[in-house]
Amino acid sequence: MKDLENKQRVKRGKARSSPRRRLSKRSTGASSGCASPESRERYKYFLAAGTRWLDNDAYGHVNNVVHYSYFDTVVNRYLIEAGALDITGSGAIGLVVETHCEYFSPIAFPDNVHIGLRVATLGRTSVRYEIGIFRNDNLRASAQGHFVHVYVDRVNRRPRPLSRALREALRPLLAEQGR
């Protein structure tokens, strides 16, 4: 049916060139289809990290897979520092069920990166983290995106409500909605 509708639009000269992106009501801006990099002030927690020679790819910049490593690192470092995650002993663990990253400007060795973190949504069993990656002292993100954890029982992998300790640790990172 949709193919027929699109063919009719083509005949009228009104075909969609790409699917429409729906903006999540839960999103605070990062990775919701916005086309501009966010500023550092939008993030509540930062982790500094150095790039490594091996992070560069054949194109002379940090490979996209490294950006996702930064996502994992900032989230888990924050949770460990806040006392909300014991990587070998916590009864619940966060499984990544969704990620997204938008790239605006390159990062390359020997740059330093500052990884900003905020929480967009605290659900019953899930958390949506939003991350900005800043090159050196730049005020605008070189890349930004999101990462969704669903918390599950470590043994049976069934969804489990967020613990009180996790909620308390994440509350200071909650972003203001509607900015």
Fold of 2-173: Thiol Ester Dehydrase; Chain A (3.10.129)
One digit per residue, the tens of pLDDT, for the chain of length 179 reads: 445 454 444 444 444 443 333 334 444 555 445 569 999 999 999 999 999 999 999 999 999 999 999 999 999 999 999 999 999 999 999 999 999 999 999 999 999 999 999 999 999 999 999 999 999 999 999 999 999 999 999 999 999 999 999 999 999 999 875 44
Q: Per-residue DSSP letters for 31-80?
A: TTT--SPPBGGG-SEEEEEE--GGGB-TTSSB-HHHHHHHHHHHHHHHHH
pTM of the model: 0.80
- 74-95, pLDDT tens digit by residue? 999 999 999 999 999 999 999 9
